[in-house]
Amino acid sequence: MLPAGTFNTTYANDMAIIRTRLQWTLFIAFMIFLFGIFPGAVDDSVLTLANNIAIVLIAVLGLNILTGLCGQISIGQAAFMGVGAYLHGVMVTKLGLNFLIAMPLAALGTALIGLLFGIPSLRVKGFYLAMATLAAQFIITWSIVHSPRQITGGADGLHVAVASLGALKFDDEKSFFYLAFPIAALMIFFAKNIARTRVGRAFIAIRDNDLAAQAMGINLFRYKLLAFALSSAFAGVAGALWAHHLVVISPDHFLLTDSIWQLGMLIVGGLGSTLGAILGTVFLLTLRDWAVPTAAPILGKMFPLFQLDLFTSLALMIFGVVLMVFLIFEPRGLAHRWEIFKASYRLHPFSY
């Protein structure tokens, strides 16, 4: 719904993501705040969290294309992120490629692996397909551990060179912020636009009713594979950034738990909405990496009996409860809440 008095008078106007002058002002103000003020104003721990959010967000955006738009459940996004991280790490470290060249190649390679595991979607869907992605999760991490040590480093992990552009080195949190956030912004732009093109609409049609979609001339198999490839490509970019951020990558960074957290972020944010992916990632990662570590020592003092394992258990329990609450009370996620808020703001003081 558009604000009162705003009408689309041209096609360009109708297609625009940012429509009113107020939105432009807010957008530019936000950008100035994000890139100009934010990195200087906060300390390194907050920047680490912000960089993490940017990286995971890219993977969640990919998952949103596959699960949110195309309706294919995937419980293996973290493993595809691992594929991207290792492909990128090997290309940068062993082959000496510049990271800007290696990153698209890593995304492409991950997309191919994603295609491979998307093949079962030819025959199965729903829960069965989710099982195929679960198998992908385990098989990929296992293959990384068991490929030749001189390439991936096996279980010890792989040391990745710092990303650098000429004299510019992205080796601390603040400089990495300026690498991660522009790429994340670019990926948000891609994701948002994929959802609005012919391909995105085909995905949505498949999600809502695959038989009807086929009857309308959408090649199911092709589009499902495309969704798998796109989603994996996003995961590949996220993995590449992850490799540069952590410097040492190991298969332990890409476990089933991480895949499940990413799926959770999507649910909490709202399936099928780019804004939802952003909100969900920010919400759950802040909860896990800031709220829980802050709360755990305080709770530990209050309940000394449980002090020992409070930290790990608290994150899991809160994740479970948050997910349950959203599934029962707000299955359309935070994005839907935001839409309701916007609509009621525009209609104020009338409720309809």
Partner 1 sequence: MTVLLQLILSGIMVGSIYSLVALGFVLIYKSSGIINVAQGQMLMIGGFVSWTFLSGIQLPDSLATIFGSKYFPIPIAIALSVLVAILMGLIIERLLLRPMIGQPILAVVMMTIALAAFMDGMTTLLWGAGARNFPEFIPRTPIRLGELILSPQHLFAFLLAILLLAGFTLFFQRSHTGLQMRAAAEDHRVAQSLGVNVTRVFAMAWIISAVVSTLGGILLGSINGINLSLSFLGLKVLPVVLLGGLESIPGAIIAGPIIGILENLGVAYLDPLVGGGIKEVAPFFILLVVLLFKPYGLFGLQRIERV
Binding stretches for partner 1 (CB under 8 A): 67, 71, 73, 119-128, 130-132, 134-135, 138-139, 142, 145-146, 210, 220, 256, 260, 263-264, 267, 271, 306, 308-310, 312-321, 323-324, 327-328, 331
For residue 168, the surrounding DSSP H or E stretch is: strand 168-169
Least separation in angstroms between residue 136's CB and partner 1 is 8
Q: How would you classify the pairing of strands 168-169 and 164-165?
A: antiparallel
- Give dist(CA 69, CA 281) in Å, integer: 17
Least separation in angstroms between residue 209's CB and partner 1 is 12
Least separation in angstroms between residue 155's CB and partner 1 is 10
- Give dist(CA 256, CA 136) in Å, integer: 10
Cα end-to-end distance, the chain, whole Å:
12
β-bridge partners, 158: 249
Q: Residue 209 is encoded by which pair of tokens?
A: 């009713």
Least separation in angstroms between residue 311's CB and partner 1 is 9
- Give dist(CA 227, CA 230) in Å, integer: 5
CB nearer to partner 1: give 23 or 307.
307
Least separation in angstroms between residue 11's CB and partner 1 is 35
For residue 82, the surrounding DSSP H or E stretch is: helix 77-93
Q: Residue 78 is encoded by which pair of tokens?
A: 């973290």
CB nearer to partner 1: give 43 or 309.
309
Dihedral, 47, 157, 243, 76 alpha carbons, nearest 10: -100
Least separation in angstroms between residue 64's CB and partner 1 is 13
Q: How would you classify the pairing of strands 158-159 and 168-169?
A: unpaired
CB nearer to partner 1: give 46 or 256.
256
Is-contact 242 92, C-beta < 8 A?
no
CB nearer to partner 1: give 76 or 236.
76
CB nearer to partner 1: give 51 or 152.
152
Report the sign of the C-alpha dihedral through residues 95, 99, 100, 102, in that order.
positive
CB nearer to partner 1: give 30 or 142.
142
Q: Residue 65 is encoded by which pair of tokens?
A: 């294309």
Least separation in angstroms between residue 266's CB and partner 1 is 9
> 3-state DSSP call for residue 311?
helix
Least separation in angstroms between residue 315's CB and partner 1 is 7
Site of tokens 């090649």 = 219
CB nearer to partner 1: give 21 or 301.
301
CB nearer to partner 1: give 18 or 317.
317
